[in-house]
A and B are shown apart, each in its own frame.
Chain A
Amino acid sequence: MAGLRLENLRKKFGAIEIIKGVDLDISDGEFVVFVGPSGCGKSTLLRMIAGLEDITAGDLFIDGARCNEMEPRERGIAMVFQSYALYPHLSVFDNMSFGLTLDRRPKAEIEARVREAARILKLEELLHRRPAQLSGGQRQRVAIGRAIVRKPSVFLFDEPLSNLDAALRMDMRMEIARLHKELGATMIYVTHDQVEAMTLADKIVVLDGGKVQQVGAPIELYKKPANRFVAGFIGSPKMNFLDVTVTRVADGSAQVESPSVAPVAVQASGFAAGDRAVLGVRPQALRDGGATALGSIKGHVSLVERLGHETIVSLDTASGERALAAIPQDATYEPGSAVTFGFDPGAAHLFAA
């Protein structure tokens, strides 16, 4: 078992810097998820930890030892690839035992470890098959099995479920959560699926443009996003952002307004009267009937999506912006009609423009 420390880690491909100084502490046994938009460098960072990409600058410590120059096999890691990367010419058993055979482990030990992994992953019946004779989900389990048998202290997953259909993805997600509990190993998991990130992670690392935007527990990121990027990235549907003007500041709060947002005081610091700012309100925070609430947004209904348990209302505001409201019940709205949605100022966020 091992913790990791990344210190000012950087990666350049040619002249282009892709990872621009990442600092991160991962404790032993933690489940850490890297999320971020496509191309932000999640895979690159993971591959640097794995030893598949050279580290341009900075230091990587695994279990206290600096391992920038170590071979992958010396790092005590195992990796599960998005494409599974099973050896097509080998049976499931041989795929899982490949690393142990290279290590020249005794036959009995190899056999025992593979059987154990097969039991955990319910692969016992399939050990003699070739990867081509397996379903997608089974292949993914073999790929995970190949990682397990090596008893690594750190598991690395690069979007392991993205090739599976929705139902299977949910099963495998729960399986991975169970595995984490059972093995107690440190796991680093790359995904751009929010649900995977929110449900699996002890700690989420949000990356954008090769930089860490925020690190924290899933709920912390949801409730207290450090910046506009994180606020927009975590949560679905996306948080509404409305341009506002600061009209008054008090200790720890700022009053803002715009043609479509009635004057409201929200928690904020570092703003001055007259500043332009961006007000962030989650669709789920909006409630029908602005009259009784402290904050309110006015607009015209442009689109209504009735899902049964929920109604998503799209709003064109007076200042020409678009906002979404997620009403937690079935409701009817007339497109084109004027509406006002209220919100609790405590649930609103203010970001620099």
Chain B
Amino acid sequence: MRSGRILVVAGKAVAVAALLTWSLVPIAFVVMSSVKPGQEIFAVPTVYAFEPTLEHYAELWRRWGQFFDGLIDSAIITAGATALAIIASTCAGYVYSRNSSRFLNASVMFLIVVRLIPPIVVTLPLFPLVNIMGLNDTHIVLMVLYATFFVSLGTVLMRTFIDQIPRELDEAAQIDGAGRLTILRRVIVPLAAPGILAVAVFVVVFAWNEFLFAFVFTATKAKTAPLVISEMIGSIDGVDWGILFAASTTQLAPILIFVVLMNRYLVAGLTAGATKG
């Protein structure tokens, strides 16, 4: 009994340690390498005692100004995509939660199924269309694309959250003179805020890191940071690993901070509905 419990605790500890190693070591490697003097980055055996330096960051700033332009583009696109996805999912989730009809019930299934199709299959045929509309190489096209990928998941998630808000609150607000939009804005949104933040985390992480669609649909004017990083790897005068790691760290930092801050809501989002009978 006692030794059994110790085994369980030890097992858990090992599992957690393995998981942490698995997810943290690459990050630690990138971050550490970004402040290592150039020649020590790939030294064997690995150098742990080194003089930290910001030379790679300075070099990144000097030689890859477009990386910082890319960060700005990424930020704009991420913000736009997140706002779009949140607005669409919240409105749709509200409708799904408060209304029911055969068509609505069937369309939920459709929302989930459509999400299983590889996005690239549906998206690539859009390329000529995007071109005709003159949206190629704009922020808007990526905002809309990224938001679209998360509207189905976001809608289902928001519906689950809004289902937990009693309908009498809508009715009380209706008696108080609120129309549908006012109810949504003043009652539903504040009470479903954790759900909205959870959706936001999904979209932000995806939009900030996405490479493939950015590669297909943008060239210069809306080039995102991950694209610039890929160019660093393919650079003709050889890869400067120090700069690459500095760029990766810079790209990683804001998202890491964001996710850590939102962690609480993310967990709430992933388990929403789990305790609802």
Contacts and interface: CB of A to CB of B under 8 A. Distances in A.
Question: Do A and B truly interact?
Answer: yes
Interface of A: 50-52, 71-73, 77-79, 81, 83, 85-89, 98-99, 102-103, 146, 150
Given A85-B169, A87-B187, A102 B175 contact: no
B190 interface: yes
B182 A102 contact: yes
20 contacts: A50-B175, A51-B175, A71-B174, A73-B177, A81-B168, A83-B168, A85-B166, A85-B169, A87-B169, A87-B172, A87-B173, A87-B187, A88-B191, A89-B191, A98-B186, A99-B176, A99-B177, A103-B177, A146-B172, A150-B176
Contacts of A85: 166, 168-169, 171-172
Going nearest first, the 8 A-B pairs with the smallest beta carbon separation are: A99-B176, A73-B177, A85-B168, A85-B172, A89-B190, A102-B177, A72-B175, A79-B175
B169 A102 contact: no
Interface residues of B, number: 16
Nearest to A88: B191
Given A99-B176, A99-B177, A102-B182, A81 B171 contact: yes
A79 B177 contact: no
A99 to B, nearest CB: 4
Contact of A73 (B168, B171, B176, B186): B176
Contacts of A72: 174-175, 177
Interface in B166-206: 166, 168-169, 171-178, 182, 186-187, 190-191
A52 B171 contact: yes
Nearest to B187: A87
Contacts of A71: 174, 177
Nearest to A82: B168
- Determine chain B's interface SS by DSSP, over half rule: helix
Given A51-B175, A71-B177, 4 more contacts: A51-B174, A73-B174, A73-B176, A81-B168
Contacts of A52: 171, 174-175
Interface of B: 166, 168-169, 171-178, 182, 186-187, 190-191
B59 to A, nearest CB: 50
B138 to A, nearest CB: 38
Contacts of B178: 98, 102
B166 A78 contact: no
Contact of A146 (B166, B168, B176, B191): B176
Nearest to B170: A85
Contacts of B171: 52, 79, 81, 85
A47 B267 CA distance: 39
Nearest to A143: B172
B102 to A, nearest CB: 13
A102 B174 contact: no
A150 B166 CA distance: 23
A98 B176 contact: yes
A87 B166 CA distance: 10
Nearest to A52: B171
A70 to B, nearest CB: 12
Contacts of B186: 98
B172 A81 contact: yes
Contact of A83 (B166, B174, B182): B166
A146 B168 CA distance: 14
A98 B169 CA distance: 12
A169 to B, nearest CB: 20
Contacts of B168: 81, 83, 85
A266 B219 CA distance: 99
A52 B191 CA distance: 22
Contacts of A78: 175
A119 B168 CA distance: 26
